[in-house]
Amino acid sequence: MAKIADRYFIVDPWNIIEEDFNPSYAQVAESIFSLGNEYMGTRGFFDEGYSGQSLVGNYFNGIYARLNQTPSAYKGMVNSTEFMVNAVNWLYTRIKIDDELLDLHNSKFSDFRRVLNLRNGLLRRSFTWATKSGKILNLIFERFVSMGNVHIGAQKISITPVNFSGKISIVSGLDFSEAHRIFNKNFWDCENVITEDSYLSITGKIESTNQKIFSSCIFHGDIENQKDVFINPKAAAKEFILDLSPDKEAVLIKIASNIVYTGSSKEDHALFDLQCAKSRQDLGALDYCTLKKENTAWWDKVWNNSDIVIKGDELNQQGIRFCIFQMFQTYHGAKKGTNIGAKGLTGEAYSGNAFWDTEVYCLPFFIFNNIEAAKNLLFFRFVTLPEAKLRAAELDCEGAFYPIATISGRECCTLWQHASLQLQASTAVVYGIWFYDRLADDKNFLYDFGLPILVEVSRMLATRGSWTDNGTKYGFYGVMGPDEFQMMVNHNCYTNYMGRFTFYYTLSVLDQLKDHDEDQFHHIISRMGISADETETWRKMADLMFIPYDEETKLYEQHDGYFKLPHVDIHSIPVEDFPLYHHWTYDRIYRNDMIKQPDVLMLMLMFNTRFSEEEIQKNYEFYEPRCIHESSLSPSVHSILASQLKKHNEAYDFFRFATRMDLDNYNRNTHEGLHTTSIAAAWMNIVYGFGGMRSDVEPISFAPSIPGEWDGYSFRITYKNNVILVDVNKQTVTFRNTGSDIIPLKVYDQTIMLGKEAQEFEIPADRRG
């Protein structure tokens, strides 16, 4: 837990503020000031260019390239990889006066200030430029991406001369020429450059995937003097000459539209062509001020339904609002059937791939804040079911084996020990369907899209596992569980438990469907070829699943033989050895009982009410001292369980950097992009941890506690189409339903019916930090 804050940004409840630009934090700030709307994301690089360290990154959900690798001699190995591609820079700008190019790496400037307003998603940067010829100018750059019309981004540049009159050149355009940082290569072929009065467009294509982006923009403001200019073969640009007068503001506005083509059918391409043809007309109907007001209204609704207020802790107040803001920027259901990359759309680390974290960490946030977005996330797994079935066949299994890392549904992880041994991606999809079904009660989605996944994952589990030599127990051999420091183990507790859960849940849904609609049941049985023998085999495997558990100690053994591994005192490891992947040989990591991230304890969070408090306490106290939290997801899980166990100081210690993992650069890698799933875990840390919410029971339950460091806090969740407000102070907790229904809840084991009238409860003494 030796994590130290590297605090740079000014603390403010509603804004992320940078003053007096420090070049050593340039790329960290680019990640923090990223804007996105799920469809596209833009890092917080300087519009006008910067010759210092910078990642000019623009990314689009589902736009990727594919690289083939030398085929392995072994079956089941991944021979190609896919990665999110750095795309069109729609903010491209260059500003010049008296042949001096504005570049904050070389130019003289003062009064630098950059602010990201979390209330409305506006990024604003201002400074004063003193040129070598003695001219002084005040510049303001604004930008935002539209949350309602996700193709649209807007930029406004305001320039006010202080001590001169004269002309200034602004080159503005659309640029596909940026290299992808990881490969130091550009993957775009460009065509169809169109330049008209106050309008530009260009189309980029990725050869390996045949995907396209049509980028166009329209200009407003002081644009009377304009001409087309060539900046490179993969760009379209115009130069504007603005006449400046002292203390008079000159303005250039650019509204850009980016339309992606990711399909393969003639119908998809016809729609893409139609959208491109209408681009200029559609852009002409937009104006900057209206778009800005619409964005403010969109974010107002978000904060009314999803805000978290923390009293007496300015750091975490800013931190949790930043987390909520980034979650809605990353995903809000704008594009059906897409997923969430580990860095969202803020950087190239992890290649834009989605992992099993999506269903386990991100899905709970969306289920209680935007359930339609949660549904769209799960729909991605249905759309990519064919790829999961192909992957299962590659691994000598039947059914569907979901990838551990993916953009398109194909396995992108080239490390065989992860790609072939980790079953938790598949079982996490099942968990996500179960979670959504319980909270949404959307039986049409369950039967039409969820059930085919459940059946195919069950088939995979039935062929991936094996019986013990005496045929009395079933389980999984040669696997890697959530703790990635234990490889090729047998009977991993998490894996076996989730396998049993999957079998039982699939059988339960089949029974539900039979009772609900027998005709549809027989149709699915026939279409998928499900036999009575097959379902009986699943039931037997579930009934006889080996769960390594010691009745006397109440401990669940992480995997068969874990208790006999050599013990490592993690506190004796020198701090300079971290991260271990960089300082220990790969095999050394696997030769002891050290844990990277929670495995057994992850189960106890996901299915919390199925374990006794004694079991949770015994396992927490055994496994926590062995965990080094090498994953940024780990501390929040421990904090939630510690809070449940009334270990309040420990819970807060684990929580102390959850909301500010990226803001304060705790892992010293914020420059690579934001930790999206850790951001979701920070929300869980407050709602499931201090708020004591449990959603694996009906009705959902709460047992709030309050950290001693706080004066109070409140949070909102959307449950059964009603917004529930939970307001906690030092002595009491109050529940309010801002909706119109009467909702059953459980508070400190007492069932209540919550309507318009607020209900107050005293916080038990042992739940006050």
DSSP 505-533: HHHHHHHHHHHH-HHHHHHHHHHHT--HH
pLDDT digits (tens, 9 = 90+) for 127-176: 999 999 999 999 999 999 999 999 999 999 999 999 999 999 999 999 99
Q: Which helix (H) or strand (E) holds 462?
A: helix 451-464
Residue 142 three-state SS: strand
Query: pLDDT (tens digit, 9 = 90+) per residue, 590-639?
Result: 999 999 999 999 999 999 999 999 999 999 999 999 999 988 889 999 99
What are phi and psi for residue 240, nearest 5 degrees?
-115, 130
Our answer to whether residue 484 is catalytic in this structure is yes
Report whether pLDDT(26) > 60.
Answer: yes
Beta strands 732-737 and 759-762: pairing type? antiparallel
Q: In what order do the strands lie in the sheet with 15-19?
A: 15-19, 108-117, 122-130, 136-145, 152-161, 250-261, 211-221, 199-206, 189-196
Give the active site residue among 484, 624, 630, 672: 484
29-59 tens-digit pLDDT: 999 999 999 999 999 999 999 999 999 999 9
pLDDT of residue 2: 59
For the chain, what percent of residues have pLDDT higher than 90? 94
pLDDT of residue 70: 86
Q: What value does the mean pLDDT of the chain take?
A: 96
pLDDT at 578 over 90: no
Share of the chain above pLDDT 70, in %: 100
Q: Is the pTM of this model over 0.85?
A: yes
* pLDDT score at 73: 87
Closest CA relative to residue 709, chosen from 312, 341, 308, 402: 312
Tell whether the model's pLDDT for residue 566 goes beyond 80: yes
Q: What residue has token string 């000159």?
A: 250
pLDDT at residue number 717: 98
pLDDT digits (tens, 9 = 90+) for 195-239: 999 999 999 999 999 999 999 999 999 998 999 999 999 999 999
pLDDT at 366: 97
Q: Chain centroid to CA 113: how far?
A: 28
Terminal-residue alpha carbon distance, the chain: 21
Nearest C-alpha neighbor of 705 from the set 724, 685, 681, 728: 728
Helical axes 385-394 vs 451-464, angle rounded to 10°: 10
More confident residue, 633 or 672: 672
Query: Residue by residue, what is the 3-state secondary structure of 278-309?
Result: CHHHHHHCCCHHHHHHHHHHHHHHHHHHHCEE
Q: Span 97-118, mean pLDDT?
A: 98
**CA 217, CA 256: separation in Å to the nearest integer?**
4
Cβ atoms of 672 and 31 closer than 8 Å: yes
- How much is the pLDDT for 241? 97
The confidence score (pLDDT) of residue 3 equals 72
**pLDDT confidence of residue 258:** 98
Q: For residue 66, what are the CA distances in angstroms to 55, 82, 84, 341, 407?
A: 21, 4, 9, 16, 10
- What does the angle CA 20 – CA 23 – CA 24 come to, to the nearest 5 degrees? 115
Q: Alpha-carbon distance 648 to 598, whole Å? A: 19
Predicted confidence band of residue 282 (pLDDT cuts 50, 70, 90): very high
- Side-chain-facing half-sphere of 89: CA atoms under 13 Å: 27
Given a cut of 80, whether residue 1 has pLDDT beyond it is no
Q: CA-CA distance, 712 to 709, in Å (whole number)?
A: 9
> Omega before 246 cis (within 30°)?
no
Report in angstroms the alpha-carbon separations of 609 from 209, 515, 681, 694, 739. 46, 27, 19, 8, 28
234-262 pLDDT tens trace: 999 999 999 999 999 999 999 999 999 99
